[in-house]
Amino acid sequence: MRKTPRLLAAGLTVLGTLVLQPASATAQETGKSHALFNGKDLSGWVTPDDKEIFSVEDGEIVGRTREGQLKKNEFLVTEKPYRNFVLKAKVKYKDGNSGIQIRSKRAADGAVSGPQADIAEGYWGLLYEERGRGILERYDEQKAKELVRPGDWNEFVITFKGKHLKVELNGTCVIDREDEKFDDEGIIALQTHAGPPMEVRFKDIEITELD
């Protein structure tokens, strides 16, 4: 069947659009991005037995403890495990010690083991393996201190692909590690630390799953 010039021109336009589409746009379409926190409640998360530890206030997840309240570290854990992903989260730290667990395991008693991006004065930019090998890698402490906004929101971007983990803090890469001992899949968790009273807040928690 003969094609009219108008149909032929339209076909060439469509073809040109497909050919000229930037690779970045195609890459963005392959990732499935969604919020891990709906800003209203803790749907999609597993809470500790003590329901007072984690709450939602002003659209933020709040981890707060009293003196002597915790006998061990407690965690708010995702119901779903994740494999390869980019995780974004904003955190505001007040007192004590906290962290973001990635590709970790949760035991029956609520204890969590696995790699953690640490959140605490003197420990920003530190990769710690909870209930495992301890400190795995540490960014320069003074440089990390200069990156952090005390009493304000700080943003983490955590990328896990295969055995490669990259942690960015306020736009600067603080951890870049290849480790064959990393699990291939695991939960994401937010930590409250045993010890002195503490408070930490999280918001804008979003994950993009990668192939």
Average pLDDT over residues 10-31: 44
Average pLDDT over residues 175-181: 99
Query: Is residue 4 pLDDT above 50, yes or no?
Result: no
The domains found in the chain, sorted by start residue, are 32-209 (2.60.120.560)
pTM of the shown model: 0.85
The pLDDT tens digits of the residues spanning 133-158 come to 999 999 999 999 999 999 999 999 99
pLDDT at site 132? 98
pLDDT at site 31? 78
The pLDDT tens digits of the residues spanning 29-76 come to 457 899 999 999 999 999 999 999 999 999 999 999 999 999 999 999
pLDDT at site 18? 40
The Cα–Cα gap between 168 and 173 comes to 4
